[in-house]
Amino acid sequence: MKEAAHKTLQMIKTAFPVIIGVLLVISMLNPLLEKFYPQIFTGNYVIDPLFGAIAGSISFGIPVASYILGGELLKKGVSLLAVAAFLLSWSTVSIAMLPIEIASLGKKFALLRNCWCFFTSIIIAILTIVTLKVIQ
């Protein structure tokens, strides 16, 4: 038990500076990127989910804030398809947090998880829109 606690403490000591650095970069970049979201999404139903997933992967956010951000993007004319892909990848994929995830969980797992979440965010966004259109 002592050995596990010691290893955990060492891992926290190693990861803490990286976590602080990543959070500082995220907090500086997110406000800059948010200004460009309405300009990126053109309404194209093929390209918008891809751009949405890419923008969401580059950004970083907590799921609770996604309701506010999603509503604001919809008000600015961004398609629901793009918003769905953006929010799914925003809360599941994190390029900014990748160094921390690699250090904690290993490179192979971190890369596979992020790639899987990226592609499934696009698929789930498309299926969501198809489902909504069928129900209506």
- 3-class secondary-structure state, position 23: helix
Comparing 63 with 130, the larger pLDDT belongs to 130
| Mean pLDDT computed over 70-80 | 82
Mean pLDDT of 74-96: 87
Given pLDDT bands bounded at 50, 70 and 90, which one contains residue 29?
low
Range of 49's domain? 2-135
Confidence band, pLDDT 50/70/90 cuts, at residue 24:
confident
Count up the domains in the chain and report the number.
1
Q: What does the pLDDT read at residue 50?
A: 93
Q: What is the pLDDT of residue 64?
A: 67
b/e sequence 54-78, b meaning 16+ C-beta within 10 Å = bbbbbbbbeeeebeebbeebeeeeb
**Predicted TM-score (pTM) of this structure:** 0.71
